[in-house]
Structure 1
Amino acid sequence: MAETLLKMNETAPVPTQASVTLSFNPFLEYLKKRLQSERTVKAEYYRHIIERFTENPAWKTGLPVHDLAAYKELFEIVYFVLTPLAADDKENMWGLSTPVPTTLFYSTESLSRFFADNNTTKEPSSIASENCKVSKDMQFMYGLVLERFYNISSLAKNDTVYSYADTVTKLSRYYKVHVDTQFVEIRVNGELPALDYDVLATYLHDGTGSEALICRLKKMLPLDSFIFEGFTVITLTDVTAQHSLDKIRGMMVHHSYSNDQYLEISQALKTIAGNEHIEFRLVPIIGVNGKSTFASNEECIQSILMNALQESGITEEALNTFIQKYQNNPRILVYNGISSEEKAEDNFLRILKKTAVESYALLPVYYHSELTGVLEIYSEKEILFDERLFSKVQTAIPLIAQLLKFTRDEFQSQLSNVIRDKFTSLQPAVQWRFNEVAWHYLQRNFTDLSNPEIEEIRFENVYPLYGAIDVRNSTSERNRAIHEDIKSQLTLLQDTLSALKTIDESHTKPDGAMDEACTHWKEQIDGYFTSRDEIALNNFLETEVHPYLLEVQESYPEARAIVSRYLNAIDEREGAAFKNRSELETSLQLINTKLNQYFDVAQKMLQVEYPFYFEKFRTDGIEYDLYIGQSIAPEKKFETAHLKRLRQWQLQSMAEIARLTQRLLPQMPRHLHTTQLIFVHARAIDITFRNDERRFDVEGAYNIRYEVIKKRIDKVLIKDTRERLTQPGKIAIVYFNQQEALEYIGYIRELQQQGLLDDSLEYLELEELQGVNRLKALRVGVKYH
């Protein structure tokens, strides 16, 4: 134990007129009360202690602060009474201080050494203004006075947390200093001054701070009216782990999940571990379509695992396989001394060996029994990762689990936003109406418990614009690709059966009828090949050929390579038997991707002028409906000029799209050409959102006629000919009356002057369709150069 006087605050306090006396008297009064109620053997100890104190006359008077050596035995008795018998003096930070805790006069060696080494208080102990000086001592005394005599505890703060840099670990450590004031007695010198509680309430609740309140109290409640007697008990508790956990919890409360915050959490975990050479990283595991993967976003940039895997050149498929394997059997992985490990067959270890990491651990993190991610612990030094370290980190695992769960939820929210933005028909132009209807529904649902119907979403008097970009002869191209692939597969099958004969005819014994069937199907495919024939061929391959080949492959090792070549060839993704179909799909996908990109950019720019609803439909090309009118944007005046601007854009876009698809030909494995079609409908229509189909549809008998015409004009012929209206390199504009034609002729003339269209403008009459007659069309060629 140490009796050295030690200032707990290096700066000089602001003088006060209060009487402060170091005394054992409050402590003895405490023992006497305990003696009266104690019925165990402790009573004899209390009686003996009281006698030892009363034998020393100094207990009745104040103790001189600078001459306390004579009272060492009494201090030891106080320590004996107030601390557990099992407390270790070397670890227990405990001490006695003056009634106003400015001077530590008796303490354990650990506490004395701590204050001597780490007295790093940076805050000034007093705050001075022109007419008022406030010290921490003054705040302490007023806090006790208000609590003891006026039942106001706002200023009574006996616990303080502060940090210091550990000289060994170089990390911040946090300690809570607790001041026990139960052995401080306060007496009033004269009458207790009265307080104006209304004035105090203003200072306590308006956020002006304790300093302003103390300055006010100095006038209302002078400290020379009080006598402080006794001593305070000082205890220090290491709260580093709890402080670090509170820091993590604070980030969660404020939803701070950026990469910087993740690194701060990593630093907090390092503080808990107490080793500056250990690093921590959090890696969420996200789910997409029932499959798990590590989040490849900002939170994982610092992951040593992700970086090592990416630098190793691992494929996404291999990475997902690793994750799935780990998820099926989550466990703690520990590698101490990676450079000296000899398990070269461990792929995971081989990847880590290429980094500067010497020690590595991977801990699974669960939230409600669901694996939400992993915690990486690693170091570039060889450190023993053992149960002691894991038990320290374990205190933070529940918070880390919540954090990873929040990250997963945020990812799913982002995923939903992308889907809603990119793939659904709900667009900003009509979002306001859906919000309005949803709000009305929630209001009615709150007051009407009978599950009211949701109101209809309807836009009246909107002008439709319809366009279609179609791939010419896509059906025949697809049939041709299928036929070529089937012939290729049958040829390969015949070669496979012939190769099997050469191995060991007595063993394999391929059925001769199977080879004859292949020849039959090859001849059939060159003739009239129906969908029924295709079904029969697939049945022959799946029920006869493939079971036979799999049996041969399993039974005869020498046949495995031959059969494998055939099975690889019929792989739908990369097999040679799907080459033509794959090339066709690649070409179609290229066209559709570029068209979608074009429309996404174009319609967003046009929306600035006036909001409209735009919906695309995937065919072998792209069809779209565009609706514009006052009901879609009630807050913005709709004018005919807005409709004309869109019609002009529609024609211009068709010319640009024709050029675009022509430029794509060199990139297409199979050359495909597009046709461009516009249908002009001059009258406004009504559209209604169909909840069952999750899309807008026209309303009313006349409006439905518009839909019927749209569906029938894609393959319409020119009257009295066998020529289709739509042709590659041309734009066809279908209309009913001359007024509509004149408007579009004007747009055509402008685009001809701009060099987008050529001079081959045609005026055409179209064949009669079922329920539709008197249709006419304009057709004009596109200039590719």
Structure 2
Amino acid sequence: MNTKVIRLNDKESVHCQIDSSLSFRPLVAHLKGRLKTEQSLKSEFYRFLLDKIEREDELLVSNINPEELTAYSDTLELIFTILTPLMANSEDLYWALSTPIPDKIFFSTDTFYNFFQDRNPKSKINKKEESLDRQQLRFIYRIILERFYKFSSVLKNEIIYAHSHPETNLTQYYNIHTDTQFVDIKYVGSLPEINYEKLGYHFQEGDELEFLEKTLPLNNFSFEGFTVISLSDITVEHALLGIRNVLVDHNYQKETFNQISQALKTIGGNSKIDFGLMPFLTVNGKLVFDNQEFSDSKLINATREFALAEDVFFAQVDAYKENPRSIFVKRITEDLALKDPFLKVLKQAGISSYSVLPVFNNNELAGIMEVYSKSEYAVDDNLRSKLQPAMPLIGQFFQYSIDEFGTKMDAILKDKFTALQPSVQWKFNEAVWRYIKNNRNKRKTREIETVSFKNMYPLFGAIDIKDSTVERNLALKEDLQLQLNKLLETLKKIKSLVHLELTDKILFDCNEWLTRINSLTSTNEENLLIEFLETQVYPFLLLIKTSHPSKTKVVDLYFESIEKERGLSFKNRRKLEVSMQMINSEINQFLEQAQANLQASYPCYFGKFRTDGVEYDIYIGQELAPDKSFDTLYLKNIRLWQLTSMVEIARITKGLVNEMPRPLLTTQLIFIHSNAIDISFRNDERRFDVEGAYNIRYEVVKKRIDKVLIKNTAERLTQPDKIAMVYFNADEAKEYADYIKFLQDQDLLNDDLEFLELDELQGVAGLKAIRVGVKYVSGND
């Protein structure tokens, strides 16, 4: 243990913001209180510590000098002993005692002392960049509000330290926690009242500390006691959060695989390992592999580089699908390489140890994760245990990649084998004709030209299903509860007819899981439940079925209940999918019919794509119809149409709520962009995309505004029963305000128009929004 004083952030000068004194009197009062109620042997320990403190007069004063506590290291060690788990090893604890306002640390574990001696304060990662003065002021008011006003969640500022591990060079993350239970706060006079409405307003404005300084001056407060500081390693949680953010971003391209691989390295704690991610993509029920975009597999790269026969590769993978399991090769020897063509190409690629882990999503094999290294014995079963918390997230990532691949396949099929929209087909016809003419009687074929349209006015709309991720997780939890209840019923029937001690053990475990599932919050727990079912329950049921044929029906009824298409254990997930399909089907049908009428006024390009809901792009401009003069009135007409159509869509989806097996709500979002942009048809992806750096900014904003928050709040802009319109320029807001006024007069919108400032997004500042409520017809309220 260490009694050297550590001055936190000693490079900064912090003025005294409140009267505070280091004292052990709050601890003494606490020990005396515990002795009145404690009946166990702990009371003897408490009494021993209390007597020791009271014998040392210097420890009972109200303002101890931290530098003088070196002489009382044995007493401090006793305090450490009662405040930490008895079996804890001090070498593993980042733990310390500090002054009431954390400024000077006067006693700490060696681990904690070394950590702070080695770390630069700049390695702190804070949500807000604040001076130390304001950080301490925030700390002081947080405690005051908790103690005197019962505010338990206001002004909490999490501090995270990040540093690079000297051996692995991987970044590790630590969260600092300050325990103030041994700090007494006194106030002279009558405690001021707080106007909570005003306090809330100042939180929104970001000047809450200034408000509190005026309302609750600190000159009448005093702090006495000491704080307990501890650090916890949150490296794994931070890495898992990084993977979750990838899922939220809905970006499943090449750079995403690198991000996930780095997070997995951090979780594994080994920089010498690498990862391959291979979701199982299928075309017509047969596996295909796309290592350019939807996969990142070392095995695929090695088989192509060293020309392994494709039929051998596919045969082995198909066989693996029939019997998925974890495979570990800790050392790829020459003998192993001669016997196995896969190990041969891996060895040729410089790989010395290799593992394959099956990845499941909703109990279905979604792909495999490779773990490999150029070092021997770097991959083992212990590494699999470390990676286990990430496996459900990898399963979700694989499923999203599979869905994205299917979406891309659908889009290409529509573009290649169905007619292009009439508004753009004429230009493709011209390009094809020039392609034919330019390549006549020429030995070298020229590439077909890029089809482009200049000065297009874009319109973007998004209809999203509210809290779709939350709904999916809730449906999963409810289905797991049904599955466990059915399993308990099955096991009880088996127990009544077959005497096996193991039945009681599995029944006990099932009841335990049923309790845990009610408060299921961790994807790791979900994965452990699946592992329990697959490794303990199902083999037991199959054994009962084989050994006791008379129990076959009981076992079969359970397995029928977990069939995805008809089983009881997928009931809620099926209802959710039906509800989502109902919404998307109605929206798609409405948009298909509505755009046909829209094209009659002036030709436009209408591109629709699938998310959890429906998003669409509309482009309109002169180059779409060279023979018809374009006027900005057509743009205003289509903008009014878009706003009106959003009202109709909101009414349609609201009207479906009572028909859905699982009620869902939608949000409606429009992005207003006044400046014309250029678009071109990307032949490689068979879709239109924007051109130029400025125009790309439009795409960036589109992809990020669906989760934007109202400035200085935690409230999402997009809300059910509302239409949100995001814009940059005041002229845009004025134009849409006129449309809203017109639709309010038509009884389509409520009289609740809001003009809102929005939080900055990465790379995007200055966003604003209009939001207005939809007026529903009778029966949709």
Q: Which residue of 2 aligns with 1:88?
A: 89
Seen in structure 2, the aligned counterparts of structure 1 residues 53 and 631 have a Cα distance that, compared at 3 Å, is closer
| Deviation digits for residues 92-118 of structure 1 (CA, Å, limit 9, x no counterpart) | 221111111122111111111111122
1:121 counterpart SS class: helix
In 2: Cα distance, 1:91 partner to 1:309 partner: 45
Matched ranges for 1:61-100 at <5 A = 61=61, 62-100=63-101
Q: Which residue of 1 aligns with 2:25?
A: 25
Kindly indicate whether the alpha-carbon contact (under 8 Å) linking 1:134 and 1:215 is maintained by their aligned counterparts in 2: no
CA positional deviation for 1:274? 1.1
In 2: Cα distance, 1:282 partner to 1:376 partner: 6
Matched ranges for 1:32-51 at <5 A = 32-51=32-51
Kindly indicate whether the alpha-carbon contact (under 8 Å) linking 1:11 and 1:124 is maintained by their aligned counterparts in 2: no
Ranges in structure 1 where 5+ consecutive residues have no aligned partner: 432-599, 609-629, 639-644, 647-785
Kindly indicate whether the alpha-carbon contact (under 8 Å) linking 2:98 and 2:104 is maintained by their aligned counterparts in 1: yes
Kindly indicate whether the alpha-carbon contact (under 8 Å) linking 2:330 and 2:380 is maintained by their aligned counterparts in 1: no
Q: Which residue of 1 aligns with 2:146?
A: 147
Counterpart of 2:60 in structure 1: which amino acid?
K
| Deviation digits for residues 332-378 of structure 1 (CA, Å, limit 9, x no counterpart) | 23233335554402111111121122222121111123221111111
- The answer as to 2:107 corresponding to 1:106 is yes
| Deviation digits for residues 627-657 of structure 1 (CA, Å, limit 9, x no counterpart) | xxx989422499xxxxxx99xxxxxxxxxxx
Seen in structure 2, the aligned counterparts of structure 1 residues 226 and 636 have a Cα distance that, compared at 3 Å, is closer
- The answer as to 2:397 corresponding to 1:380 is no
Q: Which residue of 1 aligns with 2:564?
A: none
Counterpart of 1:278 in structure 2: which amino acid?
I
| Deviation digits for residues 276-308 of structure 1 (CA, Å, limit 9, x no counterpart) | 1111121111122122233344133x4321111
Q: Which residue of 1 aligns with 2:234?
A: 239
Identity %: 35
Q: Which residue of 2 aligns with 1:635?
A: 601
In 2: Cα distance, 1:195 partner to 1:38 partner: 38
| Deviation digits for residues 77-136 of structure 1 (CA, Å, limit 9, x no counterpart) | 2112111111111112211111111221111111111111224435699x999xx99432
Counterpart of 2:601 in structure 1: which amino acid?
E
Seen in structure 2, the aligned counterparts of structure 1 residues 85 and 341 have a Cα distance that, compared at 3 Å, is farther
Counterpart of 1:46 in structure 2: which amino acid?
Y
- The answer as to 2:421 corresponding to 1:428 is yes
- Paired residue for 1:277, among 272, 275, 284? 272
Matched ranges for 1:152-191 at <5 A = 152-157=151-156, 159-191=158-190
| Deviation digits for residues 9-67 of structure 1 (CA, Å, limit 9, x no counterpart) | 23324312411111111112222222222232323332333222222223431221111
Kindly indicate whether the alpha-carbon contact (under 8 Å) linking 2:12 and 2:132 is maintained by their aligned counterparts in 1: no
Counterpart of 2:137 in structure 1: which amino acid?
M
Kindly indicate whether the alpha-carbon contact (under 8 Å) linking 1:365 and 1:401 is maintained by their aligned counterparts in 2: yes
Kindly indicate whether the alpha-carbon contact (under 8 Å) linking 1:373 and 1:404 is maintained by their aligned counterparts in 2: yes
Kindly indicate whether the alpha-carbon contact (under 8 Å) linking 2:253 and 2:293 is maintained by their aligned counterparts in 1: yes
Q: Which residue of 2 aligns with 1:192?
A: 191
Seen in structure 2, the aligned counterparts of structure 1 residues 408 and 142 have a Cα distance that, compared at 3 Å, is same
Kindly indicate whether the alpha-carbon contact (under 8 Å) linking 2:276 and 2:371 is maintained by their aligned counterparts in 1: yes
Kindly indicate whether the alpha-carbon contact (under 8 Å) linking 1:430 and 1:632 is maintained by their aligned counterparts in 2: no
In 1: Cα distance, 2:93 partner to 2:9 partner: 21
Counterpart of 1:91 in structure 2: which amino acid?
D
Seen in structure 2, the aligned counterparts of structure 1 residues 310 and 140 have a Cα distance that, compared at 3 Å, is same
Aligned CA RMSD, in angstroms, stands at 3.5
Kindly indicate whether the alpha-carbon contact (under 8 Å) linking 1:98 and 1:232 is maintained by their aligned counterparts in 2: yes
Matched ranges for 1:495-506 at <5 A = none
In 1: Cα distance, 2:3 partner to 2:172 partner: 26
In 2: Cα distance, 1:124 partner to 1:344 partner: 51
CA positional deviation for 1:602? 14
Kindly indicate whether the alpha-carbon contact (under 8 Å) linking 2:276 and 2:370 is maintained by their aligned counterparts in 1: yes
Seen in structure 2, the aligned counterparts of structure 1 residues 113 and 604 have a Cα distance that, compared at 3 Å, is closer
Counterpart of 2:297 in structure 1: which amino acid?
S
| Deviation digits for residues 656-676 of structure 1 (CA, Å, limit 9, x no counterpart) | xxxxxxxxxxxxxxxxxxxxx
- The answer as to 2:289 corresponding to 1:288 is no
Compute the TM-score of the two structures, normalised by the length of structure 1.
0.52
Seen in structure 2, the aligned counterparts of structure 1 residues 95 and 397 have a Cα distance that, compared at 3 Å, is same
Kindly indicate whether the alpha-carbon contact (under 8 Å) linking 2:15 and 2:133 is maintained by their aligned counterparts in 1: no
In 2: Cα distance, 1:58 partner to 1:387 partner: 55
In 2: Cα distance, 1:198 partner to 1:631 partner: 49
In 2: Cα distance, 1:133 partner to 1:44 partner: 42
Q: Which residue of 2 aligns with 1:121?
A: 122
In 2: Cα distance, 1:17 partner to 1:260 partner: 47
In 2: Cα distance, 1:237 partner to 1:105 partner: 20
In 2: Cα distance, 1:634 partner to 1:332 partner: 59
- Paired residue for 2:394, among 396, 400, 406? 400
- Paired residue for 2:243, among 248, 269, 276? 248
Counterpart of 2:92 in structure 1: which amino acid?
E
In 1: Cα distance, 2:132 partner to 2:376 partner: 55
| Deviation digits for residues 212-251 of structure 1 (CA, Å, limit 9, x no counterpart) | 3223333333322211111111111111111101111121
Seen in structure 2, the aligned counterparts of structure 1 residues 119 and 340 have a Cα distance that, compared at 3 Å, is farther
2:185 counterpart SS class: strand
1:11 counterpart SS class: coil
CA positional deviation for 1:154? 4.7
CA positional deviation for 1:68? 0.5
Counterpart of 1:139 in structure 2: which amino acid?
R
- The answer as to 2:360 corresponding to 1:361 is no
2:102 counterpart SS class: coil
In 2: Cα distance, 1:363 partner to 1:150 partner: 52
Kindly indicate whether the alpha-carbon contact (under 8 Å) linking 1:97 and 1:105 is maintained by their aligned counterparts in 2: yes
CA positional deviation for 1:158? 6.8
CA positional deviation for 1:601? 10
- The answer as to 2:289 corresponding to 1:260 is no
| Deviation digits for residues 688-723 of structure 1 (CA, Å, limit 9, x no counterpart) | xxxxxxxxxxxxxxxxxxxxxxxxxxxxxxxxxxxx
Counterpart of 2:395 in structure 1: which amino acid?
A
Seen in structure 2, the aligned counterparts of structure 1 residues 341 and 4 have a Cα distance that, compared at 3 Å, is farther
In 2: Cα distance, 1:121 partner to 1:603 partner: 51
Kindly indicate whether the alpha-carbon contact (under 8 Å) linking 2:91 and 2:111 is maintained by their aligned counterparts in 1: yes
Counterpart of 2:25 in structure 1: which amino acid?
N
In 2: Cα distance, 1:69 partner to 1:111 partner: 17
Seen in structure 2, the aligned counterparts of structure 1 residues 373 and 133 have a Cα distance that, compared at 3 Å, is closer
In 2: Cα distance, 1:149 partner to 1:117 partner: 38
2:601 counterpart SS class: coil
- The answer as to 2:299 corresponding to 1:305 is yes
In 1: Cα distance, 2:144 partner to 2:335 partner: 66
Q: Which residue of 2 aligns with 1:205?
A: 204
Kindly indicate whether the alpha-carbon contact (under 8 Å) linking 1:294 and 1:323 is maintained by their aligned counterparts in 2: no
Kindly indicate whether the alpha-carbon contact (under 8 Å) linking 1:99 and 1:184 is maintained by their aligned counterparts in 2: yes
CA positional deviation for 1:4? 0.9
Seen in structure 2, the aligned counterparts of structure 1 residues 311 and 243 have a Cα distance that, compared at 3 Å, is same
In 1: Cα distance, 2:129 partner to 2:346 partner: 59
Seen in structure 2, the aligned counterparts of structure 1 residues 122 and 398 have a Cα distance that, compared at 3 Å, is closer
Q: Which residue of 1 aligns with 2:406?
A: 412
Seen in structure 2, the aligned counterparts of structure 1 residues 603 and 230 have a Cα distance that, compared at 3 Å, is closer
Seen in structure 2, the aligned counterparts of structure 1 residues 136 and 5 have a Cα distance that, compared at 3 Å, is same
In 1: Cα distance, 2:299 partner to 2:84 partner: 49
Compute the TM-score of the two structures, normalised by the length of structure 2.
0.52
CA positional deviation for 1:165? 0.8
In 1: Cα distance, 2:220 partner to 2:16 partner: 11
Kindly indicate whether the alpha-carbon contact (under 8 Å) linking 1:94 and 1:235 is maintained by their aligned counterparts in 2: yes
CA positional deviation for 1:407? 0.7
| Deviation digits for residues 454-508 of structure 1 (CA, Å, limit 9, x no counterpart) | xxxxxxxxxxxxxxxxxxxxxxxxxxxxxxxxxxxxxxxxxxxxxxxxxxxxxxx
CA positional deviation for 1:423? 3.1
